Chains A and B, each alone.
Chain A
Amino acid sequence: MTISGMAVCGMSTPASKRYQRRVIVTTTVYVVVLLGAMFLVRHTHPHGWLLYGIAVLPALPLLGTLGALGVYLQEEKDEYARLVTMRSLLAGTATLLAVLVVNDFLRTISGAGALPPFWDWVIFFLSYGLAQAVQTMRNPVRDDA
């Protein structure tokens, strides 16, 4: 399971279960496509547009994961769960934008290097998960209630 496959709202709702099933599918497709693309590039040495096309293929299932988040928000009937997810998405987006803009200035003015590949994905989903965990901790559900 990738980092994007964690519980979407920290709660078990019918919509969040469907989201998790969709993420399992997109993650499985991602692994297969990534391995296939690496195999093709290593053994057939494509170039030009074909190489670009193969390079983009593994990104498509990951875009599907973002699509699954959108579908989840459409399907979720529990308004509090939807709010928790919306806040978490906002936290993830804001954190990613903040890191990127600081890195942009570091690169432009001080000649620092760019972030390593795929760190944007990690930063987004880590801050998304952290925002979700904070909200869960702020709304503890007691066993005896």
Chain B
Amino acid sequence: MRNRLRELRAERGWSQQYLAEKLEVSRQSVNAIETGKYDPSLPLAFRISRMFAKGIEEIFEDGA
């Protein structure tokens, strides 16, 4: 699943470490999501969406 996480994070000047701490996950998790190697669960996707104050569908694309 494609996503705009890296782009949105760059817009805000946040590091992966900062975002990881805010989401209470490891930096490797943030990296895996950004590079499309891992699709987050729905609860984590909601946490990410709240962090960026955007809807889930504005961050993640299902590619369908």
CA separation between A92 and B7, bound complex, in Å?
37
* Residues of A with C-beta under 8 A to B29: 11, 78-81
User: Is B37 touching A78 in the complex (CB atoms < 8 A)?
Assistant: no
Question: Which residues of B lie under 8 Å from residue A83 when comparing CB positions?
Answer: 38
Of all chain B residues, which has the CB nearest A11?
B26
Could you say which residues of chain A place their CB within 8 Å of the CB of B32? 80, 139
User: Once the chains bind, are A13 and B26 in contact (CB under 8 Å)?
Assistant: yes
We find that the number of chain A residues with CB closer than 8 angstroms to chain B is 16
Q: Is the CB of A141 within 8 A of B31?
A: yes
Report A1-36 residues with CB < 8 Å from chain B CB.
Answer: 10-13
Chain A residues closer than 8 Å to B37, beta-carbon distance: 138-139
**Is A77 engaged at the interface, CB distance under 8 Å to the other chain?**
yes
B15 to chain A, nearest CB (A): 7
> Residue A145 at the B interface, CB < 8 A?
yes
**Given A139-B32, A139-B35, A141-B31: A81 and B24 within 8 A (CB)?**
no
Give chain B residues whose Cβ lies under 8 Å from the Cβ of A141: 16, 27-28, 31
B8 at the interface (CB under 8 A from A): no
The answer for the CA separation of A123 and B16 in the assembled complex, in Å, is 35
Question: Given contacts A145-B15, A145-B16, are A79 and B28 in contact (CB under 8 A)?
Answer: no
Taking CB atoms and an 8 Å cut-off, the chain B residues in 35-64 that contact chain A are: 35, 37-38, 40-41, 44
Flag whether B25 is at the interface (Cβ < 8 A). Answer: yes
Report which of A10, A80, A140, A145 forms a contact with B25, defined as CB distance below 8 A. Answer: A80
Per-residue contact bits, chain A 108-145, to B (CB 8 Å; 1 contact, 0 not): 00000000000000000000000000001011110001
Q: Which residues of chain B have a CB within 8 Å of any CB of chain A?
A: 15-16, 24-29, 31-33, 35, 37-38, 40-41, 44
Q: Would you give 19 A-B contacts (Cβ < 8 Å), ordered by A?
A: A10-B28, A11-B28, A11-B29, A13-B26, A77-B24, A77-B25, A78-B24, A78-B26, A79-B29, A79-B40, A80-B25, A80-B28, A80-B29, A81-B28, A136-B28, A139-B32, A141-B16, A141-B27, A141-B31
